[in-house]
Amino acid sequence: MDGLSLIIPAYNEAGTVFRTASETARVLGELGLEHEIILVDDGSSDDTALEIERAAREFESITPVLLPENRGKGNALKRGFQTSGKELVCFLDADLDLHPSQINNLLQRMEDTDADIVIGSKRHPESKLRYPSVRKLYSTVYYLLIWLLFRLPIKDTQTGIKLFRREALTRAFPRMVSKKYALDLELMVVANRMGYRITEAPITLSFQRSYGRIKWVDIRWIIVDTMAIFYRLHFLKYYDSPLKPVVPEEPRISIVIPTREVGQVVEECLRRCHELNYSNFDIKLIPDSPAVVELDPAGSAVIASGPVGPAVKRNMGAADSDADIIAFIDADAWPDFNWLKNVVPYFQDENVAAVGGPAVTPANDSRREQASGMVYSASMVSGSTTYRYTSHALREVDDHPTCNLLVRRSDFDAVGGFTREFWPGEDTVLCLKLTRELGKRILYVPNVTVNHHRRAVFKPHMKQVYSYAKHRGFFVRKFPETSRRFQYFVPTLFVLAVAAGLVASVFSQVTLCIYLSVIGLYLLLAAFSSVKSLDILTNLLVFPGIIVTHITYGVGFLRGLTARRMKEQ
């Protein structure tokens, strides 16, 4: 039997986690199996981290992973897996509802069936369960939902003990989006989609608490995440993306962050960059004025640029770097833990000049900021470019925003970097040069992710939309190759049609009826598109957000289309 990595995620389990660690170390020691125990504290607010450190001092086989903030069980399991190194990997909940002695049953089941994944199942006929009736009801209802949506070859996805061959997780984790509520389900969906053999094993479950930790808000988000997995699987075909495995070589990467001043969002971006799962990188922070900032990676620098635009700042950062890849990110965004690790394999293809990915709205943004992100991600607003705001399937693109764009240094230099006279829109010009002048490719890779704070609806959001639209309208004449596309004209046509229809309706009752019917249909579609969350108040913001975005973009696009020139940055 190969060695075993046991990963135990814990959140606010100060009263239990040391006992869990002790029991687990004892059980695995008695099995005589080469093993390691990874205890992950998911940013607990109690003394869980201290108890994990105490367990690590007590037992040589325990490795602690202490995360600075709570980001969900899924994220904790991923981070634990990245720390592990054995060929078999087991997940076990920290609450002792499932005793670690049951690990041996899963190991035996894997050996007997030659399965790739063995999961403990509450619905196995030999399972012995002692837990509240309400939890049994939740489990049954959720099983029926899962069966209807996914038709998996298993009857339970949520039980907190699972055993994997390492290869299955190595290939599945990069495709996964869920970090909190539906990690178990998404993992099974992805593994099944990739053809791994999954089997179930009976478990003995003894509920340790007098009350459960699942609240109604958790159930709500479980449903949201479940439906999101269904959408990604069947509509976006996201899990079919041919994602490349991580390569051991780490080319030098410079992260370039332009900003006017160093504030809270910039400090968040820097902190997340320092935490990246990558060793060979530096940071180039480009504020207007000199700033005292701690930048840990060797080669990092703060470069005061004066009051110039982002394109000039990005060029200055690139010029100060000797890296193989330049990673551009906005100051109000922050990268996913594996941002750089996931992008490197795609630059092995010399014909790839740049790679971008989704810029998703952070989960802790305000309701108005969340609504802004949902407006952008609506098909009624972004059309074929919704992949910029949510995770879609891997694809080749010819235009991608610099809030999340990584460019091969040699290709960046070959086209002369960014042109200074455009902002926003400098990214469109750069991409156009890379694809048309150099004949290179730009890839959208869904797991090359950043989190991008949004401008809150309505006024800040509208101001940003107007600026985007004005430059896109101007680019229709100046750079028609990537800007003269029908979807960019639609909001302007809509605004003109609304204005013309309003005037025409004054003179004809029939025209008025037709006009009101068309407007009613539009509002109905907008209302349908605005249902992006189970939070009703957020949806009530998204609905008018879609409408004002169409009007604002339509007016801004028309203004740019008729402009003789754009003001320099």
pTM for the full predicted model = 0.88
pLDDT in tens, 84-110: 999 999 999 998 889 999 999 999 999
Strand 128-130 and strand 253-258: the pairing is: unpaired
Residue 516: band (very low, low, confident or very high) from pLDDT cuts 50, 70, 90: very high
> Strand pairing partners for 326?
254, 407
Greater model confidence, 243 or 528: 528
Q: Which two tokens stand for residue 192?
A: 């099944």
pLDDT in tens, 273-300: 999 999 999 999 999 999 888 887 888 9
The Cα 402–Cα 389 span in angstroms is 13
Decide: 160 and 96 in contact? Cβ < 8 Å.
no
Mean pLDDT of the chain: 92
Any idea what DSSP says for residue 12? S
For the segment 453-480, the average pLDDT, to the nearest whole number, is 93
Topology (CATH level 3) of domain 4-240: Spore Coat Polysaccharide Biosynthesis Protein SpsA; Chain A (3.90.550)
Q: What is the pLDDT of residue 478?
A: 87
The ranges assigned to domains in the chain are 4-240, 253-457, 476-561
pLDDT in tens, 39-50: 999 999 999 999
Decide: 442 and 434 in contact? Cβ < 8 Å.
yes
**Helical segments of 174-309, H only:** 183-193, 216-234, 264-274
The Cα 323–Cα 327 span in angstroms is 10
Decide: 35 and 4 in contact? Cβ < 8 Å.
yes
Strand 35-42 and strand 62-67: the pairing is: parallel
Closest CA relative to residue 357, chosen from 340, 381, 378:
340
The CATH code belonging to domain 253-457 is 3.90.550.10
* Among the ranges given (419-423, 469-473, 483-487), the one the predictor scored with the smallest mean pLDDT: 419-423
pLDDT in tens, 192-223: 999 999 999 999 988 765 555 566 666 777 88
The Cα 542–Cα 526 span in angstroms is 9
Decide: 159 and 102 in contact? Cβ < 8 Å.
no
Fold equal for 4-240 and 253-457: yes
For the segment 120-134, the average pLDDT, to the nearest whole number, is 85
Residue 435: band (very low, low, confident or very high) from pLDDT cuts 50, 70, 90: very high
pLDDT in tens, 313-342: 999 999 999 999 999 999 999 999 999 999
Q: What is the pLDDT of residue 569?
A: 47
Strand 450-452 and strand 359-360: the pairing is: parallel
Closest CA relative to residue 563, chosen from 461, 476, 465:
476
The Cα 347–Cα 355 span in angstroms is 8
Decide: 176 and 70 in contact? Cβ < 8 Å.
no
Helices 73-83 and 183-193: crossing angle in degrees, nearest 10, is 60
Q: Which two tokens stand for residue 479?
A: 């750079």
Q: What is the pLDDT of residue 422?
A: 66
